[in-house]
Chain A
């Protein structure tokens, strides 16, 4: 049994475990028939879609488990930042005094999922929206632009989020 087949079996099993956890969360019953049906269908779905859930290149990463406690801290930080920047947008809406600009900058994150999470966090905080993500080059629409210089704008927008994400995905 070579390495590729082993990795394929690992991917199928991980996907079916995730799907079965989702099934248990939604049905919420310990009825044996429903559990058997859930197991059957999660394995069937995993066989069909495992290559979409976990990419083949992910084997190069050091581990599939990342630092969960920093991830929870990151979610709370994101919630706080969302409220803080919401008040800024609210103030701008009331004054009607906006200065929108499109800024370009680069990110230093390496793995794909970390980049996607950074993009989603930038879009989730009101006041900035990611227009395009191409490799490590981000195009961001900024509602209240303070500068258009690439590096300073990147520092103001990414800020702490990139530093925390760097510690989650080592």
Chain B
């Protein structure tokens, strides 16, 4: 039974990873690429961590992965915010859809 939960989370991680990668490659400007990369690098990595925790059961490995997960929960949005602030302070103009509703 636990095997199937592990497989489900791994597949979820793989799908989010591929979609985030596609978004990073095709989106038009740094801010939208950053949105796609945040999907890829938080949700996908978090799914993989959950799969690894369920797979190794209750052991020392699980505790350490939990610590890494908590640290990642803090460090990933901060680094995304650093990149966004860098782009904003260097006056990169955000892309807007042509003919969008005002």
Count of chain B residues near A, Cβ 8 A: 37
Q: A96-B26, A98-B32, A126-B39 are in contact. Are A120 and B95 (CB under 8 A)?
A: no
Q: In angstroms, how far is the closest chain B Cβ from the Cβ of A104?
A: 13
**Distance (Å) between the CB of A27 and the closest chain B CB?**
11
Residue A93 is within 8 A (CB to CB) of chain B in the complex: yes
Chain B residues near A99: list those with CB within 8 A. Answer: 97, 100
Q: Could you tell me which residues of chain B, from 10 to 59, have a CB within 8 Å of some CB in chain A?
A: 15-16, 19-20, 22-23, 26-27, 31-32, 34-36, 38-39, 42-43, 46
With A90-B16, A93-B22, A96-B26 given, is the CB distance from A123 to B77 under 8 Å? Answer: yes
Out of A75, A82, A94, which one reaches B19, CB within 8 Å? A94
- Among B15, B34, B81, contact of A119 (Cβ-Cβ < 8 Å): B81
Q: Which chain B positions have C-beta within 8 A of A93?
A: 19-20, 22-23, 36, 39
Residues from chain B with Cβ under 8 Å of A143 in the complex: 32, 35
Question: Is there contact, CB below 8 Å, between A100 and B42?
Answer: no
Judge whether B19 and A25 touch: CB under 8 Å.
no
The number of inter-chain residue pairs (CB within 8 angstroms) is 92
User: Is the pair B97, A98 in contact by a Cβ cutoff of 8 Å?
Assistant: yes
A109 at the interface (CB under 8 A from B): no
**Interface residue B88 (Cβ < 8 Å from any Cβ of A):** yes
Beyond the given A100-B96, A123-B84, please list 11 additional residue pairs across the A-B interface where CB-CB is below 8 A: A25-B63, A82-B46, A121-B77, A124-B42, A124-B77, A126-B43, A127-B35, A129-B84, A132-B88, A141-B31, A148-B102
Closest 9 CB pairs of A and B: A123-B77, A126-B39, A86-B43, A93-B23, A120-B77, A124-B77, A131-B88, A143-B35, A89-B39
22 contacts between A and B (CB under 8 A): A82-B43, A89-B39, A90-B16, A93-B22, A93-B36, A94-B19, A99-B97, A100-B31, A100-B32, A100-B94, A120-B77, A120-B78, A121-B77, A126-B39, A127-B35, A129-B31, A129-B35, A131-B84, A131-B85, A139-B88, A141-B31, A141-B84
Which A residues are closer than 8 A to B by beta carbons? 25-26, 28, 75, 79, 82-83, 86, 89-90, 93-94, 96, 98-102, 119-121, 123-124, 126-127, 129-132, 139, 141, 143, 148
